[in-house]
Amino acid sequence: MRILLIEDDKLLARSIITALTKQGLTVDWLDRGANAHHALKQESFSAVLLDLTLPDIDGLIVLKKIRQSGESIPVIILTARDDIKDRVNGLDAGADDYLGKPFAVEELLARIRVHVRRQSGNLESKIVLDKLSLDMSQQRIEYQEIEVKLTKNEYKILSTLILHANKVMTKESLQQTLNGWDELASENVIEVHLHHIRKKLPDIDIRNIRGVGYILST
């Protein structure tokens, strides 16, 4: 799978490239938006990861030009501009998804897979674990088909555990889920959020593997 990353933050771009490459993806990186159209004509990509705040041209203009050219490739916006108005503008301009910075690489990978499957006509609408389900396109988690009201950070942690159900997630991975690439949240913060998640979902099995991390068992 080949991904086009358009991101001017070199440190973040390198982190994304390293993470995606470890998962077997090939990543082409541009730090300017003006070259996006040419790159898409020269190579066949499975998805585009697009920052909005680029030094030469606004990412929304890049997105609109991609759509005006007839490209139907999945485009996932990666940006710190994460309020409702920005999300609506991005989706209205033709984005398939919108991921606010900071984000966890596990969630980014999952969203890439979802949209590539959708593009190929092979989409699983939800990830379902018995009575628990995750709809990443709506950022919604349900239990027994009823939405669970979660804070933004609770959603980030629980969705990461669902995506990696029955596998131990290290403390560092969950810390990165909250704070992204630059700094890690404290372990106590993770415990506090998990405490609230367990209170809202007392029947799900989230265990602390001492000295390692956490696991959601099904």
CATH code, domain carrying 13: 3.40.50.2300
Q: Are residues 112 and 13 in the same domain?
A: yes
pTM: 0.60
CB count in 10 Å sphere of residue 47: 23
Domain of residue 15 covers: 2-119
Q: Are residues 67 and 110 in the same domain?
A: yes
Q: What is the pLDDT along the chain (218 residues), one digit of tens a residue?
A: 899 999 999 999 999 999 899 888 899 999 999 989 889 888 889 899 999 989 999 999 999 988 887 788 999 999 887 678 888 888 888 898 988 888 888 889 888 988 887 766 544 557 888 899 988 767 789 999 899 999 988 998 998 899 888 888 888 778 777 765 444 556 688 899 999 999 999 999 999 988 888 999 98
Q: Are residues 94 and 65 in the same domain?
A: yes
Q: Are residues 142 and 72 in the same domain?
A: no
Q: Are residues 102 and 8 in the same domain?
A: yes
Angle between helices 152-163 and 187-200 in degrees, nearest 10:
80
Answer with the one of 119, 148, 169 that is the final residue of a domain.
119
Helix, coil or strand: residue 181: coil
Q: Are residues 213 and 162 in the same domain?
A: yes
Q: Where are the alpha helices (DSSP H) in 10-104?
A: 10-22, 36-42, 59-68, 84-92
Q: Which element (helix H / strand E) includes 162?
A: helix 152-163
Position 5 scores a pLDDT of 97
Instruction: Tell me if 37 sits within 8 A of 58, measured CB to CB.
Output: no
Q: Are residues 146 and 193 in the same domain?
A: yes
Q: Are residues 56 and 101 in the same domain?
A: yes
Question: Which of the 8 DSSP states describes residue 57?
Answer: S
Q: How many domains does the chain have?
A: 2
Assigned token pair, 207: 């265990």
Scanning the structure block, which residue is given the tokens 């995750």? Answer: 134
Q: Are residues 146 and 103 in the same domain?
A: no
Give tens-digit pLDDT for 43-57: 889 899 999 989 999
Q: Are residues 46 and 94 in the same domain?
A: yes
Position 11 scores a pLDDT of 92
Q: Are residues 112 and 170 in the same domain?
A: no
Answer with the one of 119, 138, 171 that is the final residue of a domain.
119
Provide the CATH number for the domain around residue 185. Answer: 1.10.10.10
Answer with the one of 119, 154, 172 that is the final residue of a domain.
119
Q: Are residues 16 and 87 in the same domain?
A: yes
Instruction: Tell me if 19 sits within 8 A of 5, measured CB to CB.
Output: no
Position 115 scores a pLDDT of 84
